[in-house]
Structure 1
Amino acid sequence: MEFRGSVPHDPGQPTAIPVTDGPPSRPPYEGIWRFTVPALDSSVPQARHAVRDLLHDQRVPALDDIVEGLLLIVSELVTNSVRHAALLSPEVGVEVAVGAGWVRVAVEDNHPYRPKALHADQGGTGGRGLLLVQVITAEAGGVCDAERTAGGGKVVWAALPLAGPGPALS
């Protein structure tokens, strides 16, 4: 599976790594991790727990609210893939990327439909997962999107700042 999506630039960090005599110094928690889960309902909590454990094991310095929001985003995105893409995608890919000031999760499946956030009526019991992802991401000061993959599927991703939203822009 191919993972794509941009990561927001860390304010206060240079846009290019300066050339030095040795390798650039990076926080030990930075990296990219990928795993797949079967497109089954039981995979939703498994994916959420795997991401939670990864963030803990890597000692990612994220605020508790950011981690909770990120885990809810993982649950919603994996649920969407399981419910809507299982026939074309028996496995769902999950990627976690962590930089110096941000964390990004991406969920990929082989279904070509690019989802849109639904504004379901009050009586509806579902259909608002992507809207919830957008709200959590915006409240955290992050970005999210859905993109097609080279293989014809899609990847839906969200990137959040580790420290939460910065000062409001006027």
Structure 2
Amino acid sequence: MSTHLAALPYRHVLTLPAMPSAVRTARETAELALMEWGISPRHPTIGPALLILSELVTNSIRHAVVLSPQVTVIFAASEDCLAFAVHDRHPYQPTLYGAATGPGRGGLATVMELTLGLGGTAVVRGDADGRGKSIWITLPL
């Protein structure tokens, strides 16, 4: 699996208002981009990846909308790797790896169970100004 995002030849960036309709738009845009890049929607990673994406966009809208009226989704891929990020301008950075086993077991637990189950990685990257973050998911194809 490629681990250097700069080396991924396919990229797409989508910025949406932080509204419930953004979840559907992000998912549909991801599906179109993947098809354009020649990645089959029947690939066993794609269904779970779209669920992960939907959960992350939902979380961003639900928890960050007060400080972040927009959410940005970044998609990238190569022949053997799919990566995507959901970015908002809320400073809170959730603990991802505790989510799968910790109390509450909400959307982030689902994200982490699917990501780890597919052999992928997840990371939270804070903005340079400390006022936002991106949650990056990388999955092997």
Instruction: State the 1:43 CA deviation.
Output: 0.9
2:12 to 4, 28, 33: 33
Instruction: State the 1:100 CA deviation.
Output: 3.0
For structure 1, the 5+ residue unaligned runs are 1-6, 10-25, 121-126, 163-170
- Residue matched to 1:82: 61
1:96 matched to 2:75: yes
Higher strand share: 2
Q: CA deviation digits over 1:55-105, x for unaligned, max 9?
A: 012212576220001100110000011001111111100000112310001
**What is the rounded CA distance, in whole Å, between the counterparts of 1:108 and 1:57 in structure 2?**
23
- Over the matched positions of the two proteins, sequence identity in percent amounts to 37
SS of residue paired to 1:64? coil
Higher helix share: 2
SS of residue paired to 2:93? coil
**What is the rounded CA distance, in whole Å, between the counterparts of 1:50 and 1:139 in structure 2?**
24
**What is the rounded CA distance, in whole Å, between the counterparts of 1:113 and 1:140 in structure 2?**
26
Normalising by structure 1, report the TM-score: 0.71
- Residue matched to 2:94: 115
**What is the rounded CA distance, in whole Å, between the counterparts of 1:45 and 1:90 in structure 2?**
17
- Residue matched to 1:158: 137
Instruction: State the 1:109 CA deviation.
Output: 0.3
- Residue matched to 1:132: 110
1:148 matched to 2:126: yes
Contact 2:120-2:140 within 8 A present in 1 as well: yes
Q: How many residues align?
A: 132
1:67 matched to 2:62: no
Contact 1:137-1:160 within 8 A present in 2 as well: yes
**What is the rounded CA distance, in whole Å, between the counterparts of 1:143 and 1:108 in structure 2?**
17
Q: CA deviation digits over 1:17-64, x for unaligned, max 9?
A: xxxxxxxxx9xx931111111100111111111101110122125762
Contact 1:30-1:100 within 8 A present in 2 as well: no
**What is the rounded CA distance, in whole Å, between the counterparts of 1:58 and 1:64 in structure 2?**
13
**What is the rounded CA distance, in whole Å, between the counterparts of 2:40 and 2:21 in structure 1?**
29
**What is the rounded CA distance, in whole Å, between the counterparts of 2:25 and 2:87 in structure 1?**
16
- Larger radius of gyration between Structure 1 and Structure 2: 1
Root-mean-square deviation (CA), in Å? 2.0
- Letter paired with 2:19: L
